[in-house]
Amino acid sequence: MVYVIIGIVMLVILAPIMRIIPSTKQKAAMAKRQIAMKQGIRVAITHIEDPDPDRNKYLSNTGKPLPRKLAVIGYRLPRSRPDNWRESGAVDWCFERRSSSAESKVPWEEAEPINSGLPDSLKTFLSANLSKLPFDCVKVEEKNFILSIYWQEQGEVSELIDFLTTCVGLPLSSGRNDSAIK
């Protein structure tokens, strides 16, 4: 009887400790985030409005609409600002994938409002490389010189790092030599 009581006490003590040890999936996600942070990319857990048009996903049992919030991981990389960034303004743009199912290759769509003043080099890069991002990437945007990719960390992080660093290296206007102000 004493051994049974000791065993139960040990289980009560060890259960919370075992629960806080990260799983294999959590360790893999942490490794991806560390790789990105070593490259200077900011990583944050955030919520965005779900771009998936299926509204039935966000209904309660009584039929009441629920907020369309999607929990994702945001990988952000700031862009070097041009010397005259206050006069020229920011080039803000956004692309969303309307469905994140692995089976379907849903194309990226421009989100509203979109700035039509994208430079040709950036347009060409985006049209060629958005489809190469992992299937679970939901949104790619640039606001106020910060490029962000929102995804659910099921693909390879190297593809995102390459996309972010290449995209940030592209000039925001053609024919001008931009020097960085951080």
Q: What pLDDT sits at residue 138?
A: 87
Round the average pLDDT of the chain to a whole number and report it.
81
Q: For 39-70, what is each residue's pLDDT tens digit?
A: 999 999 998 887 776 767 777 778 787 777 88
CA 56, 57, 63, 68 torsion-angle sign: negative
The span from the first CA to the last CA of the chain, in angstroms, equals 69
Write down how long the chain is: 182
Q: What pLDDT sits at residue 126?
A: 85
SS3 call for 77 = strand
Q: For 117-155, what is each residue's pLDDT tens digit?
A: 677 888 888 888 888 888 888 889 888 889 999 988 888
Q: For 81-104, what is each residue's pLDDT tens digit?
A: 777 767 666 678 888 887 655 554
What torsion, rounded to 10 degrees, do the Cα atoms 113, 115, 116, 122 define?
Answer: -130
Residue 31 pLDDT class (50, 70, 90 cuts): very high
Which pair of tokens denotes residue 179? Answer: 């020097």
**Per-domain residue ranges for the chain?**
24-169
The strand pairing partners of 139, in sequence order, are 96, 150
